[in-house]
A = this chain, B = another copy of it.
Amino acid sequence: MSITNLIASHNERFTPTDRRIAEAVLEDPMLLTFGTASAVAERVSTSSPSIVRFATKLGFEGFSELQQSVREEISKQFTSPSHRARQQDESVAPVQLKIEDAVHAAFDALTPECIKAMALPIVVAKNVWILSGETSMAGAIALASGLSMIRPNVRLVQEHSASRDLCGALAEDVAVVFDFSRYRRNSVIAARTLADLDVPIVAITDGPLSPLSSLTEYRCELDVPAVGPFDSSVPAVIAAELLVSQVVTELGDEALNRIDRLEVFWQATDTFLVTSPPTKP
């Protein structure tokens, strides 16, 4: 059993110090492999006995035995051919390259100006309506989730209730539409209808040929790579997150206050499990 799994299986019996030790050890495995117990202790600002106790809690006789276990683990990885294979084997990763390329391309397309332009109508809108096709649903969710934390009146429009929801949309609002390549009829028609009603449209889509592109100048054009038989929604998610980030910047205190109030609710309703202490020094 690897040291990582071992830590995972014991992490519920950890004291706060144990947790700090675990974090440090996982972050820098060499510390445990080569260092002394005192060195680990100093790294996490605690005493060596705590390190020893940590080791015993993991089922070892003491620190030495834990260290030996880690060393054996490393030894095996080092003598086995799989490590060397992983080291220099860039061939079995076409998907990785495609996605990383797409991510890079997305940032090329999402220039600060582009993001600012798209953020503008969202900042001033009374209501934000978010529409999405299938492959870009993850992006829509990311946007809806992020935006609704920093401003009111953000609605993710579900397909089955689109008309009911959207019939209230006005020119002071904004509609953010995600859709790619095989454009979903519903999304596009809804967007077109909204545009006809003078509702500003922000389009996250895939090129000038998209039916969404003709509806608005607030848009970005992304390439979507294929992962297996389906299209990746990673670029859409990135666009959504950058957009949220920009809107936060422009809303300023208004957004921050809302986050604060949200935090109060989270605390009051005990939404989160453990508020682990921030690891920043």
Residues of A within 8 A of B (CB): 4-5, 7-12, 14, 19, 22-23, 26, 28-30, 34, 71, 74-75, 77-79, 86-87, 92-93, 95-96, 99-100, 103-104, 107, 111-112, 134-135, 137-139, 141-142, 145-146, 149-150, 181-186, 188, 207-211, 213-214, 217, 219, 221, 226-230, 232-234, 237-238, 240-242, 244-246, 248-249, 255-256, 259, 270-276, 279-280
16 contacts between A and B (CB under 8 A): A8-B210, A8-B219, A12-B211, A74-B78, A93-B107, A96-B107, A99-B238, A100-B100, A137-B145, A181-B276, A182-B272, A227-B245, A228-B244, A229-B248, A229-B259, A232-B241
Distance between A2 CB and nearest chain B CB, rounded to angstroms: 10
Distance between A95 CB and nearest chain B CB, rounded to angstroms: 7
Top 10 A-B residue pairs of the complex, sorted by shortest distance between their CB atoms: A228-B245, A8-B208, A8-B213, A138-B138, A183-B273, A138-B142, A227-B241, A7-B208, A182-B272, A96-B107
Give Cα distance in the complex from A146 to B211, angstroms: 24
A259 contacts across to B, CB distance below 8 A: 229
Instruction: Report if A11-B213 is in contact (Cβ < 8 Å); known contacts: A183-B274, A184-B273.
Output: yes
A249 contacts across to B, CB distance below 8 A: 228
A75 contacts across to B, CB distance below 8 A: 30, 34
Q: Closest residue to A6 on the B side, CB-wise?
A: B208
Copy number in this complex?
Answer: 2
Give Cα distance in the complex from A244 to B230, angstroms: 9
Q: Closest residue to A5 on the B side, CB-wise?
A: B217
Interchain CB contact under 8 A, B274 and A211: yes
